[in-house]
Structure 1
Amino acid sequence: MSEHAIEFLRGWIGEKVHCQHSPVKIDTQAETLARECAAKAAEEGILLEDIQEEVGDIKELIASRLEEAAEAEQETHPDKPSE
């Protein structure tokens, strides 16, 4: 994957992927974000295939990051109820 594609993906995920508590919300959010990512990559002239060649399914990657963010949030704020 090109350096430009790598930097794009890192920046985009850092900006867009935030904590979700419910597994249903994570799946829905991941699907929505995967579509947004693909569209933004196309605007930047980055082929989705270039990204997927390196990271696999973008939806799965985003869902994984959402789950990690939810776990980190729960560890930081254990008294906060899950949605």
Structure 2
Amino acid sequence: MSEHAIEFLRGWIGEKVQCQHPPVKIEKQAETLAKECCAQAAEEGILLEDIQEEVGDIQELIASRLEEVAEESEQQTTSDKPSE
């Protein structure tokens, strides 16, 4: 994958993939975000094939990151609660 495509994908995921409150279904959110990512990549002249060659299925990658973010948020919420 080109360096430009890698930088784009990292930046895009960092900006867009965040925990939603209340939590939405990860697969549906991942599908929506994958479509947005593909559209924005195309606008910037980045071929979808370049991204897929490196990371495989973009929707699966985004779903995985959403799960990580949700777990981090849940752990942070749990650790912020005062001890009884």
Same fold (TM over 0.5): yes
- Letter in structure 2 aligned against 1:61: L
Alignment: residue pair count: 79
Q: Sequence identity of aligned pairs in percent?
A: 76
- Letter in structure 1 aligned against 2:52: Q
RMSD between superposed Cα atoms in Å: 1.7
Structure 2 gap ranges (5+): none
Q: Give the TM-score of the pair, scaled to structure 1.
A: 0.88
Map 1:2-41; keep pairs closer than 5 Å: 2-20=2-20, 22=23, 25-41=25-41
Q: Name the SS of the counterpart of 1:70 in structure 2.
A: helix
Q: Give the TM-score of the pair, scaled to structure 2.
A: 0.87
Q: Which has the larger radius of gyration?
A: 2
1:38-82 Cα offsets, whole Å, 9 max, x none, are 0000000000010000000000000000000000000000289xx
Regions of 4+ moved over 4 Å: none
